[in-house]
Structure 1
Amino acid sequence: MVEDDLDVCKFHRLFLNKVDGFELVCEAHTIEDGLKQVQQHQPDLLLLDVYIGNRNGLDLLRQIRAEGKNVDVILITSANDAHTVQTGHRYGVIDYLIKPFSFARFQEALNRYRANRIQTNQTFSQQELDRLLHKGGQNQVYTLPKGITKETALRILACLIDANDWLTANELSERCSISHVSLRKYIRFFEGEKLIQTELIYQSSGRPFQKYKAVPESSHFLKASFI
């Protein structure tokens, strides 16, 4: 994280601690120290302010790219002018958080980053690349596999979105009026499309069970096209 305002840093740390799976590995308050920290710690994700003292955080972004560093970057800033947005886009910024922002928007940015993160040993089909590189919200096109219907998929996902919380298979089956056998097919489809999160719950006795929750981007599915 590179941010010169210490009070803002405090809130960012509090927000970050509330999102599972993320850890703050370094913090800097100047452009120069930020570059050193990135070079030393090689973080996966950089939270970067634009106005840092009398300097511009985009200069740090340019230097990082010039050195061939593949760190993902989220700009956290009050700068919302076209030049800043366009420059950030050209240098591979994956999201923008305009100050002030809510924890929900911060969490959404991190969850989106996690869902779309490319692993080093990952390979892609043309369809997967199209979805990754040409994210279009309601303009996105999904290919439904055999046994999956548009109407039922929309109904199940809408139930998860409306719940805005974790649901077990039993709870989801009851809400959507669908059998467990059919539900499992749709759950596998949603998992493959990264539209839901899953969590395995271990009980003191008996078999473990899974819970499901819609990811923030899943609402795009409700307005997408299907083939």
Structure 2
Amino acid sequence: MIRTLIVDDDALTLELHRSYLARIDGFIIAGECTGARAAVSAVLEHARDEPYDLVLLDITMPDGSGIDVLRALRARAASVDVIAITGVRDAESVRQMAALGVYQYLVKPFPFAVFEERLRAYREHREQARSTAGEATQSEIDALLGRSTGVIPLPKGLSSDTLQKVTAELRTSGALSASEAAERLGMSRVSARRYLEHLTSTGFVQRSARYGARGRPETEYAWSRRVG
């Protein structure tokens, strides 16, 4: 079993990742932390007896960043694998994490299917690394050094950049109808509704009826509290 430490300062996100990981064979949740300093201490304290194999690491935390955590661990020769799970998208953070040997950089929000695909890829990579001995072939070297980059594609006609904008607006503005989202984002109502329905189908958004003074109820979309 792959002993996994989950690090995130948000309780709802911890709960979500805990439930996701429990659905994938081969992993066991061996610990949880809500801060950068606690994460470093946890990994180092377990380095000799029952070490962690994998850390699911948030980047933004009150007492430090995931980059700080990874730097501290590498400075102490900790060989634990790390998958960054974060809402931080700037290129410099990605470059720094990559330079420090992060295995994956997974940007929130994402559905379970994406999480599962990345964790399964990591599990296969780990099994390949453990089974390779002696002189490695080129394909084995590629597998040992490789990074899984597979993603679940968006439906045709949707873009990841626009999806991020819709997501950000919904998380900060509360419940919105398709018309309200379209007006705020400067897009058509039909396009806004497609993004909102996609987020609903992947479990990030909850759909409900808004009853007004007259006429048919309007559909409104709200960010799911389970996602964080």
Report the TM range for the smaller structure's normalisation: 0.5 to 0.7
Aligned to 1:109: 118
Which structure 1 residue ranges, 4+ long, deviate > 6 Å from structure 2? 135-138
TM-score, normalised via structure 1 length: 0.56
Alignment of 1:50-199 (within 5 A): 50-53=59-62, 55-117=64-126, 118-119=129-130, 122-123=133-134, 124-133=136-145
Alignment equivalent of 2:12, drawn from 7, 18, 29: 7
Identity %: 38
Structure 2 alignment gaps of length 5 or more: 1-5, 151-228
CA, structure 1 residues 8+92, in 2 after alignment: closer, same or farther (shift >3 Å)? same
The number of aligned residues is 138
Superposition deviation, residue 126 in structure 1: 2.9
Superposition deviation, residue 135 in structure 1: 6.3
Alignment of 1:205-224 (within 5 A): none
CA, structure 1 residues 68+16, in 2 after alignment: closer, same or farther (shift >3 Å)? same
TM-score, normalised via structure 2 length: 0.56
Superposition deviation, residue 130 in structure 1: 3.2
Q: What is the CA–CA distance in structure 2 between the aligned matches of 1:120 and 1:128, rounded to whole Å?
A: 10
Structure 1 alignment gaps of length 5 or more: 139-227
SS of the residue corresponding to residue 56 of structure 2 reads: strand
CA, structure 1 residues 78+67, in 2 after alignment: closer, same or farther (shift >3 Å)? same
Aligned to 2:30: 25
Superposition deviation, residue 78 in structure 1: 0.3
SS of the residue corresponding to residue 93 of structure 1 reads: coil
Amino acid paired to 1:125:
T
Superposition deviation, residue 127 in structure 1: 3.3
For 1:184-206, what per-residue CA distance to the aligned partner results, in whole angstroms no more than 9, with x for missing partners?
xxxxxxxxxxxxxxxxxxxxxxx
CA, structure 1 residues 136+21, in 2 after alignment: closer, same or farther (shift >3 Å)? closer
SS of the residue corresponding to residue 106 of structure 1 reads: helix
Superposition deviation, residue 56 in structure 1: 1.2
